Amino acid sequence: MTKTTATMITPDSDSASAPLALPSLEIRELTFRWQSRQPALTFPDITLDAGDHLFLRGASGSGKSTLLGLLAGLNTADNGEIRLLGKSIGGLAPSARDRFRADHIGVIFQQFNLVPYLTALANVILPCQLSPVRRDRISSGASHSDTQAAIHTRAITLLTELSIPQELHSRKPAQLSIGQQQRVAAARALMGAPELILADEPTSALDSNNRDRFMQLLLEMAQQNKTSVVFVSHDSALAHHFHHQIELEQPSWLSS
């Protein structure tokens, strides 16, 4: 049995602030194996308070993406427990996990984040079409046509705040630059203010200017929404943007 060790570094300034709500994320004794004959990946215990931003750093093979898959409910753990917003997602049926993800989680991938045949705006609206919860957060109790208008307005606002100019909103992803595509993806993840955003190296394809701008915009807006962010990257230069950071170590059976 191999072990992944982790260290949790928490700046002093944040340790003073007491949690206001249930922790957005709790992981206990989590292990996962892709195939039954493979040694298991083990993950450190993590607790992330609501609204906090976590930086997960690790080399390839350390299980960063696997952990995000487990958190999103796209993978299921072999052992251990994941509690999101106080709810254990290990015990949920696949359809309930899909529902939970639609309602409470925004996801940003490394690349190819957008549905190619939908416009930038339609891509941003997508979460509200999959989740009544996120739709209602934008316009609670409004009539049908008002709801549509409110969602539309909110999507345009988000895109504009993420500095996507108005004339690009009706374009297909293929007509946008990589940086613009990633910011549209960030807008989609923020749409309907989910409690948790999972980001898997979203800046790896960006140059340093674009990268810093992306980080700044994403985290600022997450802060406004009180959305927790779990951000995975191998680039430790980004760590200073976050409240907490955890280093995932490469399992010894991979490095040997």
Partner 1 sequence: MAILMTTRMTAHLALTLTKSSLWHRRRILLLVTLTLTLSVSLLLGIQYVRSEIRQSFTNTISNTDLIIGARSGQLNLLLYSVFHIGDATNNLSWQSYQDLKDDERLSWLIPISLGDSYNGHRVVATTGAMFEHFRYGRSQPLAVQRGQWFNDLFEVVLGADVARTFNHNVGDQLIMGHGGGSVSFARHDSTPFTVAGVLDATGTPVDQAVYISLDSMEAMHVGWESGVGIPGRTLTLEQAKQRNLTPSNITAAFAGVERKVLTFRIQRDINTYSKEPLTAILPGVALSELWRLLGQFEKALLGITGFVVVVCLISLATVLLTLQAQRSAEIAILRATGASAGLIASLYLLESLAIALLACVLALALGAAGIATVSPWLQANYGVLLTLRPLNQVEWVLLAAVPVAALVIGLVPALSAWRRGRRPGWQVLDDA
Per CB under 8 A, residues contacting partner 1 are 34, 65-66, 68-69, 72, 74-76, 94-95, 98-99, 101-103, 105, 107, 109-110, 112-118, 122, 126-127, 129-132, 188, 200
Q: What b/e sequence results for 66-100 when a residue is b if at least 16 CB atoms lie within 10 Å of its CB, and e otherwise? A: bbbbbbbbeeebeebebbbbeeebbeeeeeebebb
**Closer to partner 1 by Cβ: residue 9 or 34:** 34
The answer to whether 79 and 27 are in contact (CB under 8 A) is no
**Closer to partner 1 by Cβ: residue 49 or 68:** 68
Please state the closest distance from residue 77 (CB atom) to partner 1, in A. Answer: 10
Eight-class DSSP state of 195: S
With H, G, I as helix, E, B as strand and everything else as coil, classify residue 38. Answer: coil
SS3 labels along 66-82: HHHHHHHCCCCCCEEEE
Q: Which two tokens stand for residue 251?
A: 């399992």
The answer to whether 56 and 228 are in contact (CB under 8 A) is no
Q: How many CB atoms are closer than 10 A to CB 151?
A: 22
Please state the closest distance from residue 173 (CB atom) to partner 1, in A. Answer: 10
- The CA distance from 203 to 236, in Å, is 12
Please state the closest distance from residue 172 (CB atom) to partner 1, in A. Answer: 8
**Closer to partner 1 by Cβ: residue 61 or 212:** 61
Please state the closest distance from residue 106 (CB atom) to partner 1, in A. Answer: 8
**Closer to partner 1 by Cβ: residue 68 or 215:** 68
**Closer to partner 1 by Cβ: residue 102 or 158:** 102
- The CA distance from 158 to 179, in Å, is 16
Strand partners, 244: 54
Query: H-type helices in 33-177, by residue range?
Result: 64-72, 94-104, 120-130, 132-138, 144-161
Please state the closest distance from residue 177 (CB atom) to partner 1, in A. Answer: 18
Please state the closest distance from residue 15 (CB atom) to partner 1, in A. Answer: 31
- The CA distance from 203 to 247, in Å, is 18
**Closer to partner 1 by Cβ: residue 62 or 113:** 113
**Closer to partner 1 by Cβ: residue 126 or 212:** 126
Please state the closest distance from residue 134 (CB atom) to partner 1, in A. Answer: 9
